[in-house]
Amino acid sequence: MRTARRAALAALAFASAAAATPASAHPHVWIQMQSGVVFNDQGQIAAVKLAWTFDDGYASLALDGLDKNGNGTYEPEELEPLTRENLESLKDYDFFTHVRLNGKAQALGAPTAAGQSYTGGKLQLHFELPLSTPVDPTRGEFVLKVYDPEFYIAFDYAGTTPVTVSGNMPPACKPVLKPLPTDAELEQTRAMLSTKGPDWKPDEEEDFGALFAQPMTIQCQA
């Protein structure tokens, strides 16, 4: 029964509300995140790293019954089933992770280096998503957006180092976390969306949620 409950909780945390729309949806799960970009030896972007810290409400439900030895802590092996269930659910939503170079969507592979921890009263999931084909950031702006298009889950950058870089980043490049849209910009966006039909998209690849997501970019001088 507890196994079924944990699976249901994982699905709840990582499934968008079927009837939700950008105009009416409200978050039910809150995540504070850090994102990273991994460069290979050739100076290409080879992967992105994600670290998500969950709100206390979700954590208390997700952790219920996982302290098998009753010692008051959550060992990696005790959290492993939850990690597996979360990643399985996330796969159906492309891990809420969208990568583009010059506006063109880049395919991502299966997650690696995945794990979960519970320290300081906070539950955190971390994993890495390799790019199917590494990209050269000097050929155009690299953009990473993490968001739920149905707004069931709220993703917000947090911490003193919300973005990181590892590997051989070209000297002419730097990471830039662009600001969130202002209230005035959000109102303009909402007003514009109210005039569109349910099937409208900003362009041929992006969706509603992309308009509200905070971009993490790699920008390189010519």
- Distance, in Å, from the CA atom of 178 to the CA atom of 159, rounded to the nearest integer, reads 15
Cα 200 to Cα 39: distance, rounded to the nearest angstrom:
35
Q: How far apart are CA 155 and CA 212, in angstroms?
A: 11
**Residue 166, class by beta-carbon neighbours within 10 Å (0-12 exposed, 13-18 middle, 19+ buried)?**
exposed
pLDDT of residue 22: 47
pTM across the whole model = 0.83
What is the model's pLDDT at position 67?
Answer: 87
The C-alpha torsion from 16 through 107 and 163 to 174, rounded to 10°, is -150
Percent helix, strand, coil in the chain (nearest 5)? 25, 35, 40
User: 161 vs 1, 31, 55, 157, 221, CA distance in Å?
Assistant: 40, 16, 19, 9, 23
List per-residue pLDDT tens for the chain, 222 residues long: 344 434 444 544 544 433 344 444 567 889 999 999 999 999 999 999 999 999 998 898 889 889 888 888 898 899 999 999 899 989 989 999 999 999 999 999 999 999 999 999 999 999 999 999 999 999 999 999 999 988 888 999 998 999 999 999 999 999 999 988 777 877 887 787 778 776 766 665 667 778 789 999 999 997
The whole-number pLDDT of residue 1 equals: 39
Report the pLDDT value the prediction gives residue 166, as an integer from 0 to 100.
98
Residue 136 CA to residue 44 CA, distance in Å, equals: 5
For residue 167, give both structure tokens.
Answer: 């590997």
